[in-house]
Amino acid sequence: MTYVVNGKSFDEEPAPGQCLRTFLRSLGHYGVKKGCDAGDCGACAVWLDGDPVHSCITPAYRAEGREVTTIEGIGSPGDLHPMQRQFRDAPGFQCGFCTAGMIMTSAAFTEAQKEDLPRALKGNLCRCTGYRGIEDAVKGVAGVETAAPGKAAGTSVSAPAADDVVTGRAEFTMDTHIEGMLHLKVVHSPHAHARIVSIDKAAALAVPGVHRVYTWEDVPRKRFTTAIHTDHLVDPDDTFILDNTVRFVGQRVVAVLADTVRAAEEGCRRVDVEYEVLPSVFDPEEAMAEGAPQLHGTHDPFVRDPVHNILIEIHSHIGDIDAGFAEADVIHEGTYSTPRVQHAHLETHGSIAWMDNGRLNVRTSSQSPSIAKGKLAYLFALRPDQLRVFCKRVGGGFGGKQEVISEDLVALATLDTGRPVCFEYTREEEFTTASTRHPMTLTVKLGAKADGTLTAFQVRNVSNTGAYGNHGGETLYAGGAAVMIYRCPNKKYDAFSVYTNTIPSGALRGYGMTQPTFAVESAMDELARTLHMDPLELRRRNIVRPGDPLVAMHDGPDDVVVAEDGLAKCIDLVADAMARTADAGTADARTADEPPPGSGWLVGVGVASSVHETAPPTEHISEAWVTLGNDLMYELAVGTVEFGEGTSTAHVQIAANQLGTTPSRIRLVQSDTDRTGFDTGAFASAGLFVAGNAVLRAANAVRDQILEAAAAHMGVHVAMCSLDEEGVVCGDQRVSLAELVALARAQGVRFTAARKAYGSPRSVTSNTQGFRIAVHRVTGEIRILYSVQATDAAVVINPVQVRGQVEGGVAQGIGFTLTENHHVDADGAMENPNLRNYRIPTYADIPRTDVLLVDSADSLGPLRSKGIAECCINPVAPALANALHDATGVRYRALPLTPERIYSRLNEDQPVPRN
């Protein structure tokens, strides 16, 4: 069969039934990505005779004799296609995993399609950007700037990997092939709770190409936690690589290793597992009741109460809660619930392992190669020097890759066979076996004086940690930030993290804060209405101010500092924006602010606020290395992973700023335990706050070395010297960097430094979200008319990146609130394990969000900046729920706010419309 790919003709025979996506990747065209293999996401889009198609649902044989064009074929870093250039300059990407497909689709648009992007982009999904950057790219709106030497901070410079991302040359985890590589697939439990009686491997081993079948008897019997933190003791050691007891539908039971994916999958189908089915429990309240099935024993002292399936419980208070309610003029109490939702990063989990000179190498999609290395060393009794873990570019994470859930099996198989091994999750496996956001049910009770002053603040939080406790305790503690946002002399927080026979919950953007923020901010809105007070005014009267103690769990000392009045400024900015756009007749009002045509639409507004700590309470460490090379490029080595949060760009900007140069003179090395120092990981906004401080200190140290060498060489005081792009100015003299490097080399020294930073003390970042919506009283449909978020990012390192992070966070929050739901049946199995039915937002679902930046400066962050990539999701759900109540008069306390749920309540309550 003859094929033409990117202008080159060749003869090749695809495998029977092979799709075009896997065929093209087998030929080395790795810009063709796998996001779904179901035609839902568009990451695999290519041109067939000039027309974009989803290659994952296009049989390879249909391309015979036709022109196939991939992202690599329309342009190169030195000769970009116009659409590639527009995506680079907008920028129209964050993690970049969807970008090749977006460009291939967009580059074929007619002018009419560009004017109807909701329809034209319906087949392409992005989980990172919120789509505004993509819209800008398609329409040729540029946001990227060029930085002057020493002026990189504060400039919207392009990402270091931008050209590679838009040309499909940026390597993601699976974009490689190693000769002799084996493929691993997994048998998953069909039962929510069962004991394995026996496993018969014989039929699986008889499949041609199958090399190994691993069961719980073939792996190290060591307990560990899949969660990633520097201090592993904050998470329970309740997990085995493979176990003889399964606790949720989808848990891995057997791993099959074969020459091909097809053989491994066939081997999985032929494994015969006999189970003894055990009683299951899916509701956390029922799991805590007497007589409930017990999921775990008493092996881990971290588990608080295994008899009642309680991983951990928190009981804390300040003041006298009963006295606080006694002095209240008004008391509000309500119970709020949030569902299980999935990260849906377009790059699925996956790892590749191989041996090199007796050392195990693991290339993985992880948010922390350093911690992954430590876990693998423990599990397989390896010395640190026997193991390397590293990442290429990671295609989204959002906390889902703050786990070790693919690395252990490839390490096991490679150590056993000596062969390279690949394990890549399917999209269905992401939904049925990877971690999700913790479902939580929170009861909030508030007491207030008639003037709105809070007298009592009580929260009860029941969190469903699922079958295992990864992140179960830390997310429970993190929820206390929703309590610390308001001043009150009497507070009580009771919280329970509970095991159930459901998919394990884990880390997800907002980390334990998104759910309590929904509850607390909804309750504050209800309290304001009871008091007949403007909800924003109630917040203004009670929010924490600079100098206030951040009292949540206790009234003892804390390392969190509120030094700026960022939250009050956020509230004011949103209030002004909502007022400015309220009247459709005013000159600066938005035309999109008008409800859709026709009768039956109710309009409402809602606001909500949140605060978020700039680093996690657990120990967070980062080390950065800076070296001036003989080629006069500065090499910056930092362990932080880039998966769309923009830390790589910020790190390069910080280094360039301090070294008096431009980002183009910084060569970045990252996320490789052989080539970078220890880094706890890219999560909790610590990539900027902690790793950014390490970069700042290392760059400053090298700058000082250069200045001291120049001063000594020129015979002047170092205070007379200043570093610029090409050298050092000492008074009226100049010495070039080339000369200084040569002098240093002659003396046997280098300009190099390593510095560490720690996540303490910490500051807080603040957000306020506002929505104006229209809801149809008959269908329950919600249309977002206006969206605005103010954020306290302090000194902004990269304005266009900050805007993009907020837009992406708002988009994820909208999905969490309106469309996404992890449907689980009565037996504990997920019913909608695909992107089409799970329904992450598309371009048509997401409005443009006005992003307003507070004028402030952080006293602790690098160059007085703050990380904001995580916290922007937190106030979205309550702001939408508050707007829905404002429109309908009905309070919805359970997410998601689907049309059918809205309709049923409107019909049941028969509210009096406000408009």
CA distance 816 to 204: 41
What count of other Cβ atoms lies within 10 Å of the Cβ of residue 729?
A: 17
- Listed in sequence order, the DSSP H helices in 797-843 are 799-814, 835-838
Query: Within a 13 Å sphere around the CA of 246, how many CA atoms are in the beta-carbon half?
Result: 27
Q: Which residues pair with 311 in a beta bridge?
A: none
Question: Residue 692 corresponds to which tokens in the numbers above?
Answer: 């950014």
- DSSP, residue by residue, 246-269: E-STT-EEEEEEESSHHHHHHHHH
Q: Kindly state the percentage of the chain with pLDDT values over 70.
A: 98
Buried b (16+ CB within 10 A) or exposed e, 538-560: bbbbbbbeeeeebbbbeeeebeb
Please give the model's pTM, rounded to 2 decimal places. Answer: 0.96
Q: What is the dihedral of CA 266, 272, 277, 281, to 10 degrees?
A: -20
Q: Please report the pLDDT score of residue 586 as a whole number.
A: 45
Among 433, 371, 381, 374, which residue's Cα sits nearest to residue 412? 381
Q: Distance of CA 247 to CAs 99, 393, 412, 428, Å?
A: 38, 33, 22, 18
CA–CA separation, 370 and 676 (whole Å): 9
The helix, strand and coil proportions of the chain, stated in percent and rounded to the nearest 5, come to 30, 25, 45
Question: What mean pLDDT is reported for the chain?
Answer: 95
Residue 750: burial class (beta carbons within 10 Å; 0-12, 13-18, 19+): middle
Dist. CA 492–CA 474, nearest whole Å: 18
What strand order describes the sheet that includes 272-277? 245-246, 194-200, 272-277
Distance (Å, whole) CA 314 – CA 302: 13
User: CA-CA distance, 430 to 754, in Å (whole number)?
Assistant: 38
Amino acid residing at 333: E
Give the whole-angstrom CA distance, residue 697 versus residue 49. 53
The upper half-sphere exposure of residue 96, i.e. CA atoms within 13 Å in the direction of its Cβ, equals 29
Confidence of residue 911 (pLDDT cuts 50, 70, 90): very low
Judging by DSSP bridges, how do beta strands 762-776 and 601-613 pair with one another?
antiparallel
DSSP 342: -
Q: What is the dihedral of CA 431, 432, 438, 441, to 10 degrees?
A: 110
What is the crossing angle of helices 82-89 and 99-106, to 10°? 130
Q: Minimal CA–CA distance to 544: which of 558, 564, 519, 520?
A: 564
pLDDT digits (tens, 9 = 90+) for 802-853: 999 999 999 999 999 999 989 999 999 999 999 999 999 999 999 999 999 9
- pLDDT score of 592 more than 60: no
For residue 202, report the phi and psi dihedrals to the nearest 5 degrees. Answer: -55, -50
Q: Which residues contact 78 (CB under 8 A, 6 or more apart)?
A: none
Question: With helix as H, strand as E and coil as C, how does 559-628 read?
Answer: CEECCCCHHHHHHHHHHHHHHHCCCCCCCCCCHHHCCCCCCCEEEEEEEEEEEEECCCCCCCEEEEEEEE
- Which of 416, 405, 420, 390 minimizes the C-alpha distance to 350? 405
State mean pLDDT over 352-371. Answer: 98
Find tokens 């303490």 and name the residue. Answer: 760
pLDDT band with cut points at 50, 70 and 90 for residue 594? confident
How far apart are the C-alpha atoms of 433 and 644, rounded to whole Å?
23
R_g over Cα of the chain: 28
**For the residues 524-534, what does the mean pLDDT come to?**
97
692/685 Cα distance (integer angstroms): 10
| Cβ atoms within 10 Å, residue 720 | 16
Please return the burial class of 645, using the count of CB atoms within 10 Å of its CB with bins 0-12, 13-18 and 19+. Answer: buried
- DSSP characters for 479-513? TTHHHHTB--S-EEEEEEEEE-SSPPB---TTTTS
Which one-letter amino acid corresponds to residue 755?
R
In this structure, the dihedral spanned by the alpha carbons of residues 10, 12, 14 and 19, taken in order and rounded to 10 degrees, is -10
**How many CB atoms are located within 10 Å of the residue 354 CB?**
20
Q: pLDDT by residue (tens digit) across 250-298?
A: 999 999 999 999 999 999 999 999 999 999 999 999 999 999 999 998 7
First to last CA, the chain: 66
**Tokens coding 66:** 């036709």
Cα–Cα nearest to 226, from 345, 107, 106, 400: 400
- Judge whether residue 300 has pLDDT over 80: no
Residue 591 has pLDDT above 50, yes or no: no
Secondary structure class of 227 (helix, strand, coil):
strand
Residue 721's SS3 state is strand
CB 824 within 8 A of CB 340: yes
- Helical packing angle, 407-417 and 369-379, nearest 10°: 50
Query: What are the φ and ψ backbone dihedral angles of 467, each rounded to 5 degrees?
Result: -75, -20
In total, the chain counts a number of residues equal to 915
CA–CA gap between residue 54 and residue 32 (Å, rounded): 10
DSSP H or E segment with residue 203: helix 202-205
For residues 352 and 231, give the distance between their C-alpha atoms in angstroms, rounded to a whole number.
26
Beta strands of 452-573 (E only): which ranges? 454-466, 491-499, 560-561
What does the pLDDT read at residue 910? 55
Whether 912 shows a pLDDT value over 80: the answer reads no
- Tell me the pLDDT tens digit for each residue of 412-457: 999 999 999 999 999 999 999 999 999 999 999 999 999 999 999 9
pLDDT digits (tens, 9 = 90+) for 127-170: 999 999 999 999 999 999 999 999 999 999 999 999 999 999 99
Q: What is the arithmetic mean of pLDDT over 715-742? A: 96
Q: How confident is the model at residue 588 (pLDDT cuts 50, 70, 90)?
A: very low
Q: How confident is the model at residue 915 (pLDDT cuts 50, 70, 90)?
A: very low
Q: What is the pLDDT of residue 232?
A: 85
Contact yes or no for 172/392 (Cβ under 8 A)? yes
Distance CA 741, CA 379 (A): 45
Mean pLDDT of all residues in 674-680: 97
pLDDT for res 914:
47
